[in-house]
A = this chain, B = another copy of it.
Amino acid sequence: MFLERLPGIGEKTANRLAFYLLRMPEQDLKEFGDNVSWLKSKTKYCKVCMNLTEEELCSICADEKRDKSIITVVETVLDILSFEQGGIYNGIYHVLHGKIDPLNSIGPDDIFIESLLKRLELNSKESHFVPRSGTTLGTKITEVILATNPDMEGEATAMYIKNKLKELTSSRVNELKITRLAYGLPMGANLEYADYGTLKKALEGRNNY
């Protein structure tokens, strides 16, 4: 059955879903089906940050209140949701849609690194009195936060992007800050159960208090 092909849905759940759909009013079922069919054709990448959107610009890039000078680079759209749910971040994003992963033959060109570099290059050239042009948003970008995951592929991706950004900015005197999310003990953690790698990072990254 087609429902079983969805991730995390086995035979039993598929049956339950099927019977639920069978009991739906004809009109609702039609709408539901259309939504599924159009899902992919309706959503596209935001032309600035590669977030998924139905418009030209995603709701975050289009938001007048967001700080356009800080870009957080994330692996997936779901990572954006994590940041947004907390309401802890007011800058904008760049979604890579993956990470450099040689074992699965995903190289730098298979994810949206090039578009990030282009975005920054255009941004540094453009006159900042003109509000918006092409794939930039008109505000001078001052910081790029590399928020790829703290695993091997995420690290490699962050490192690759950093080097590319350094190349890009070394030619001009550009005050672009490149930062990385902090590593260490998660909130509510217990030292007793902390793994070796995390404890090491927490110790190395200790701050004046």
Identify the interface centre among A183, A187, A201: most chain B CB within 10 Å of its CB: A187
Report chain B residues within 8 Å CB of A184.
181-186, 201, 205
| B203–A181 touching, CB < 8 Å | yes
Report chain B residues within 8 Å CB of A194.
82, 186
The residue in chain B whose Cβ has the minimal distance to the Cβ of A89 is B203
Chain B nearest CB from A189 CB (Å) reads 6
Report chain B residues within 8 Å CB of A195.
186-187
| B186–A145 touching, CB < 8 Å | no
Number of copies: 2
A interface, by DSSP: helix, strand, loop or mixed?
A: mixed
Report the bound CA distance from A205 to B209 in whole Å. Answer: 12
**Which of A11-19, A103-111, A147-155 sits within the interface?**
A147-155
Report the bound CA distance from A73 to B162 in whole Å. Answer: 36
* A202 interfacial by beta-carbon distance below 8 Å: yes
Report the bound CA distance from A149 to B189 in whole Å. Answer: 7
* A97 interfacial by beta-carbon distance below 8 Å: no
